[in-house]
Amino acid sequence: MDANQFREAAHAAIEEIIQYYDTLPSRQVVSSVSPGYLKPLLPEAPPTTGEAWPAIQADIERVIQPGLTHWQHPNFMAFFPANSSYPGLLGELYSAAFTAPAFNWLCSPAVTELETVVLDWVCGMIGLPDVFLSKGEGGGVIQGSASEAIVTVMVAARERVLNRMTERYEDEKSRDDAKDAMRVKLVSLGSDQAHSSTQKGAIIAGTKFRKITARREDDFGLRSADLRRELERCKSDGLIPYYLTVTLGTTSTCAVDYFEEIAEVIQDYPDLWVHVDAAYAGAALVCPEYQHLTKSFDKFNSFDFNMHKWLLTNFDASCLFIKKRSDLTSALSITPSYLRNSFSDSGLVTDYRDWQIPLGRRFRSLKIWFVLRSYGISGLQAHIRGHIKLGELFHSLMLTRPDLFDVLSKPAFALTVITIKPSTSGEALDRARRLSAASKSDPSHERYLNDFSLDATAHALVDANKLTKEVYELINTRGEIFLTSGVIGGAYAIRVVSATPTAEEKYVRRAFEILVETTKEVLKKGTNRVDGAKEENGGKVVYGA
Amino acid sequence: MDANQFREAAHAAIEEIIQYYDTLPSRQVVSSVSPGYLKPLLPEAPPTTGEAWPAIQADIERVIQPGLTHWQHPNFMAFFPANSSYPGLLGELYSAAFTAPAFNWLCSPAVTELETVVLDWVCGMIGLPDVFLSKGEGGGVIQGSASEAIVTVMVAARERVLNRMTERYEDEKSRDDAKDAMRVKLVSLGSDQAHSSTQKGAIIAGTKFRKITARREDDFGLRSADLRRELERCKSDGLIPYYLTVTLGTTSTCAVDYFEEIAEVIQDYPDLWVHVDAAYAGAALVCPEYQHLTKSFDKFNSFDFNMHKWLLTNFDASCLFIKKRSDLTSALSITPSYLRNSFSDSGLVTDYRDWQIPLGRRFRSLKIWFVLRSYGISGLQAHIRGHIKLGELFHSLMLTRPDLFDVLSKPAFALTVITIKPSTSGEALDRARRLSAASKSDPSHERYLNDFSLDATAHALVDANKLTKEVYELINTRGEIFLTSGVIGGAYAIRVVSATPTAEEKYVRRAFEILVETTKEVLKKGTNRVDGAKEENGGKVVYGA
């Protein structure tokens, strides 16, 4: 493909992308292909001689489009959003053009230096404490994902505690033996609402992991008393707690841990690394009305949020800030002779490879730079506030139908979490949920339904769970809107978050209608099916209404 | 930025990119900015209100271009290449447009299914054994980098050995205790020529690491006798070897380990996971004349090479193939309720998040698909063979000046590694290098120069090292061509690899001229400086000639 062919191909691609975005609302949000759909559409092997662009491009519509789930679609209300934007696209384009694995400064100084500058910009913009700026001992680095950021800081935390606790040994052999003895006692912590990537990170880092229950009465935020109890339990079990994830905006309900309380507790645990996972909700910090949340972050060691979720920067752009960058580099730095150069040796430059797991890295700061400049801070604030308002609207619509819906937790950061109400009274349901939450830390839905010993109140919860699951599955099968579910404190719940760049009030109102219609339909069917249900379950399951 | 503004901006960006590629040869290959150049060129914070595209785009030339090192430049002969191509760019563009974190199949089925198909294509194209195809128990997955692939398989290997060796324990507590006892005994291995990412991977996985010497007389390839000796040593030290990196094309000299011999040895070590790191040279397997190298790979557990190095796919596209995918998924799979769905539960689909460290992932298979189709297999073969030929040309030019250059190792995969010859006879130098290689496993250059006890032959080596370093640094400082150096078996050496898409014979000839001219200049200066050198070094250092 020469320059002229590229120009022509790129123009055609840009038209197709514009057309894709313009026609998004008319497409079905979730792909409806069956597993294995794609293989039969393609030959068994790549061609021997090259093909011209038009033949390749034609396959985007024929092969790829049917298998896309449209994350920018206004009816995408599942998971958390993954906002894209035109300026972000241009950033990717230039990044690809300037391809470099950029593992050290000299590989392309602009890659390193722009990253430092834009992350300082972001640090200021979201109101993080100055300790996370590059001018002191801290700094920011772009990671591929919040989960990658978590493994990275866990490894740094692990090496920090092992080094600190073995400082007193003078010879290497004794120090290594002491580290081995300690290594297997290391335990990482997170609330049962923290994202699963903490647990996965603990596996990768080869350390233990313990969950701390966050309670519904605390809006699923982790509190100091529970943290302190677990820390003490670890100690009495002979373990060394070395790492804790606290969360600003949990996946299930956008809960916020009690940062100020936690900051108090950890003063007694100087070897505990505290990482703030703000993967989604961190974007809201661009609005001053949320920045009070960062007040105690200077007591913590690291903070990460994904601009690729809610801040118009296409995937990937996870912004990790660290209070003491030497904690990262002393854990992850290895410099063989072929990576040495006078700039790196001088200490005047940053080699971001020592701030991350992989060696090579892309020029990801370009897209962040373009997005920040194209929207400006006020544009980003308007983007966030628009979605918050849509979330409030959705919540208020839910409240108009207390006969059908329960709102499970305080709506937060545009996310509303609901359950479907069976005929049983809400009070009984609440009791059942608390009972369930207390007795099981994180039951999967199926296990829960199978194992739960049915008493009068729990019975109601089982009904609500089955009912909520049925409504949820029917809505997603039909595919007009795309939602996700979760099991939260024993309750099967539906999460609704409308925060794509194309989100609008009319789509939120329509989602509400769909929920109402589908719930009524399922309830009606449930009534019709009471006899069948009775036969299957010994008469214990009634969809009611 | 609306659709019209995007069209206009994208067209302007494309013109700038075309112009960038067209004018590459006239730019200086390595950036000559000083550390910290960029910050003063930008404001202290992002703008409050958004800026229009022309203002942003203008800063590419003003702010970014001066800080770029041009990896597509014909005079880029450093590290290994990071090939970009126009079809690859278009792949990135669509990937950004279809942004999805794609952590499971349903997130966007096309992302998963295209990846499976193109990696099966690649598997066949490079002549890997069928065990790495998705139709059996294996399969391919795109990682961000070869180093990330290494950590990923190390974690899988670690969990595999821990699970296997503790199977006999029935209760979880006993099993966990046994794992703890075993964990600190685990040791990973690689030759002293293996890339440093194995050592870094061992840190991340929290296990020990030992290097095995690869000898110059074996062209720096790892042999079975040395491997077996180290494996036995580990056992007698009470350690459990669980992982080994073997290399197809080492970073320093493109050495190839003795795969068939190694495949024999590991039959006695069924718990040892063997990973083939073919990060750069794996691309050559697209040519049938190299495919004999893969003959014993069915005895190994995983294989990885970077299409983003030498195969025209812009960074990142690291292709990892695994013989038994359940080894990865059983180590890395964690499925909380919010990630469950009927497709994933059915087992009919692949959730690549369980094949990697991060949760989210980009649509990277698009660019591989575009590249394979645009070039065709024959186009990729021509690309590789062209560079191999340039490498042979460069080597033959080196041989015309035995008075100035020594070729350190057999030229391979377009890479030639040379040292500069001082006046001392080549025979003495050879002796000195062997002596040094035997006495030190991997001395850094500075340490080497400081510590090396100078005897008659070693003396010559120190001269050659200082001389080679001076020539190397002078060439890179002047910046017409960009080379890298390394310390290999005690020798400071210059690596020359001309494998960018723009590489041509005239640039290789010019690089040869520059090496000749600079060497002569330094030798001349050395003669003039003999007195100074004598004063500084007690008369021991003479540049000679």
Q: Is A516 in contact with A63 (CB distance < 8 Å)?
A: no
Q: What is chain B's mean pLDDT, rounded?
A: 91
Nearest CB to A196; choose among B118, B121, B336:
B336
Confidence category of residue B452, pLDDT binned at 50, 70, 90:
very low
Residues A142 and A246 in one domain: yes
Quick one: B331 and B448 in the same domain?
Answer: no
What pLDDT, in 10s, does the model give residues A393-426? 999 999 999 999 999 987 899 999 999 998 655 5
- Nearest chain B Cα to A487, which residue? B337
At residue B208, the 3 state secondary structure works out as strand
Beta-carbon-side half-sphere exposure of residue B442 (alpha carbons within 13 Å): 19
> In this structure, is residue A89 part of a structural domain?
no
pLDDT of residue B345: 72
Nearest to B411 by CA among B397, B430, B391, B393: B391
- A262 and A356 share a domain? yes
Which of A363, A381, A399 is the last residue in one of the domains? A363
Q: Where are the alpha helices (DSSP H) in A222-324?
A: 224-236, 259-265, 307-310
Cβ within 8 Å, pair B93-A93: yes
| Residue B148 forms contact with A (CB below 8 Å) | yes
Tell me, yes or no, whether A87 lies in a domain.
no
Tokens coding A73? 């679609």
For residue A531, name the pLDDT band (cuts at 50, 70, 90): very low
Position B466 in a domain: yes
Task: Indicate whether B516 belongs to any domain.
Answer: yes
Q: Is the Cβ pair A151, B332 closer than 8 Å?
A: no
Residue of B nearest to A359 (CA): B147
pLDDT at B451 over 90: no
- Domain limit, last residue, from A327, A342, A363: A363
pLDDT at residue A530 greater than cutoff 60? no
List the single range of A273-287, A344-358, A370-384, B350-364 with lowest mean pLDDT.
A344-358
Under the banding of pLDDT at 50, 70 and 90, the label for residue B459 is: low
In this structure, are B351 and B399 located in the same domain?
Answer: no
pLDDT for the residue B542: 28
pLDDT of A131 > 60? The answer is: yes
Taking the CA of residue A329 and the nearest CA in chain B, the distance in Å comes to: 12
pLDDT at B270 over 90: yes
Chain A neighbors of B55, CB-CB under 8 A = 373
Give the phi and the psi of residue B480 in degrees, each rounded to 5. Answer: -70, -40
Q: Is A10 on the interface with B (CB under 8 A)?
A: yes
Instruction: Give, in order, the Cα–Cα distances in Å from A210 to each of A244, A246, A441.
Output: 10, 13, 11
Interface of A with B in 208-247 (CB under 8 A): none
Question: Is residue B17 assigned to a domain?
Answer: yes
Q: Is pLDDT above 60 for A267?
A: yes
- Mutation target to probe the B interface, by most B beta carbons within 10 A, among A65, A86, A417, A419 is A86
Higher pLDDT, residue B337 or A522: A522
> What number is the average pLDDT over the span B151-157?
98
Query: Considering the entire predicted model, what is its pTM?
Result: 0.92
Q: The tokens of A413 are what?
A: 């950061």
Smallest CA–CA separation between B500 and chain A, in Å?
Answer: 12
Q: In this predicted structure, what is the pLDDT of residue A163?
A: 95
Of B416, B152, B411, whose CA–CA distance to B302 is shortest? B152
Q: Are residues A344 and A247 in the same domain?
A: yes
Q: pLDDT band at A343, cuts 50/70/90?
A: confident
How far A361 CA lies from chain B's nearest CA (Å)? Answer: 8
pLDDT at A533 over 50: no
Answer whether B31 sits within 8 Å of A110, measured CB to CB: yes
Of A316, A331, A15, A366, residue with least CA distance to A144: A316
B163 and B291 assigned to the same domain: yes
> At B435, is the pLDDT very low, low, confident or very high (cuts 50, 70, 90)?
low
Residues A37 and A159 in one domain: no
Identify which of A406, A188, A318, A97 has the alpha carbon closest to the alpha carbon of residue B85.
A97
Instruction: Please indicate, yes or no, if residue A76 is contained in any of the structural domains.
Output: no
> The tokens of B306 are what?
């970077």
Of B82, B124, B184, the CB nearest to A45: B124
**One domain, residues B182 and B38:** no
Assess B447–A contact: CB distance below 8 Å, yes or no: no
Residues 481-510 of A with CB under 8 A from B: 484-487, 495
Residue B335 lies in a domain: yes
Q: Is B331 on the interface with A (CB under 8 A)?
A: yes
The whole domain housing B244 covers: 100-363
Q: Which residues in B lie closer than 8 A to residue A338 (C-beta atoms)?
A: 79, 251-252, 484-486, 495
Asked if B486 lies within 8 A of A338 by C-beta distance, the reply is yes
A71 touches B at CB < 8 Å: yes
Name which residue leads in pLDDT, A422 or B160.
B160
Give the pLDDT score at A433: 64
- Chain A interface, best mutation among B93, B332, B470, B475, by max A CB count within 10 A: B93
Q: List chain B residues with CB under 8 Å of A358.
A: 144-145, 147-148
Q: How far is CA A157 from CA A139, A212, B58, in A?
A: 16, 19, 42
**Mean pLDDT to the nearest integer, A321-335:** 92
* DSSP per-residue codes, B19-85: HHHHTGGGS-SS--PPTT-SGGGS-SS--SS---HHHHHHHIIIIIGGG---TTSTTB-SSS-----
pLDDT digits (tens, 9 = 90+) for A463-495: 899 999 999 999 999 999 999 999 998 899 999
Nearest chain B Cα distance for residue A264, angstroms = 30
- Percent of chain A's residues with pLDDT above 90: 84
- Mean pLDDT, chain A, whole residue set: 91
Chain B hits for A206, CB-CB cut-off 8 Å, are 158, 183, 205-207
Query: Which residues pair with residue B343 across a beta bridge?
Result: none
Q: Tell me: the pLDDT tens digits for A421-457?
A: 986 555 555 655 665 665 554 444 444 434 444 455 5
Cβ A307 vs Cβ A368: under 8 Å: yes
- Asked if residue A417 lies in contact with residue A494, where contact means CB atoms within 8 angstroms, the answer is yes
Q: Lowest mean pLDDT: which of A56-60, B362-366, B457-461, B467-471?
A: B457-461
CB B406 within 8 A of CB B418: yes
B9 contacts in A (CB within 8 Å)? 86-87, 90
Asked, for residue A496, whether it belongs to a domain, the answer is yes
Of residues B50, B339, B473, nearest to A376 (C-beta): B50
CA dihedral sign, ordered A167, A173, A177, A180: positive
User: Are both B282 and B240 inside the same structural domain?
Assistant: yes
Answer whether the bond into residue B171 is a cis peptide, omega within 30°: no
Identify the pLDDT of residue A432: 59
Average pLDDT over residues B110-119: 98
Backbone angles phi, psi at A221, to 5 degrees: -90, 145
CATH code, domain carrying B414: 3.90.1150.10
Give me the residue from A11, A148, A205 closest to B358, CB to CB.
A148
Q: Which chain B residues in 360-419 lie under 8 Å from chain A, judged by CB atoms?
A: 360, 362, 366, 369-370, 372-379
Q: Are residues A212 and A326 in the same domain?
A: yes
Cβ of B84 within 8 Å of Cβ of A96? The answer is: yes
Tell me which residues of chain A, numbers 83 to 122, contact chain B at a CB-CB cutoff of 8 Å.
83-90, 92-101, 105-111, 113-114, 116-117, 121
Q: Which residues of chain A make contact with B121, given a CB cutoff of 8 A?
A: 45-46
CATH assignment of the domain containing B115: 3.40.640.10
Residue, of A409 and A280, whose pLDDT is higher: A280
| pLDDT given for residue A205 in this prediction | 98
Is residue B495 over pLDDT 50?
yes
Interface test with A, best of B33, B337, B371, B445 (most A CBs within 10 A): B337
Which B residues 254-273 touch A at CB under 8 Å?
none
- Does A35 contact chain B (CB < 8 Å)? yes
A474 near B CB under 8 A: no
Which amino acid is it at B130? D
Residue A179 has pLDDT above 80, yes or no: yes
> Chain A: nearest CA to B228, how far in angstroms?
24
As a residue count, chain A comes to 545
Using a CB–CB cutoff of 8 Å, tell me whether A12 touches chain B.
no
pLDDT value of residue A336: 75
CB pair distance less than 8 Å for A109 and B35: yes
Q: Say whether both B341 and B383 belong to one domain.
A: no
Q: What is the CATH number of the domain that holds A55?
A: 1.20.1340.10
- pLDDT attached to residue A467: 95
Do A193 and A283 lie in one domain? The reply is yes
What is the pLDDT, as a whole number, of residue A438?
A: 54
Judge: A101–B315 Cβ closer than 8 Å, yes or no: yes
What are the tens digits of pLDDT across the range B4-53? 999 999 999 999 999 999 999 999 999 999 999 999 999 999 999 999 99
Query: Across-strand partners of B274?
Result: B244
Contacts of B181 in chain A (CB under 8 A): 184
Q: Specify the number of domains making up chain A.
A: 3
Q: Please report the ipTM that was assigned to this predicted complex.
A: 0.91
Q: In what order do the strands lie in the sheet with A186-191?
A: A139-143, A318-322, A302-306, A273-277, A240-247, A186-191, A208-212
Domain end among A325, A345, A363: A363
Which strand ranges, in their side-by-side order, compose the sheet holding B273-277?
A: B139-143, B318-322, B302-306, B273-277, B240-247, B186-191, B208-212
Asked whether the beta carbons of residue A346 and residue B376 sit closer than 8 angstroms, the reply is: no
Measured in Å, how far apart are chain B's first and last C-alpha atoms? 65
Show residues of chain B in contact with A37, CB under 8 Å. Answer: 109, 113
A161-171 per-position pLDDT tens digit: 999 999 999 99
pLDDT of A186 > 70? The answer is yes
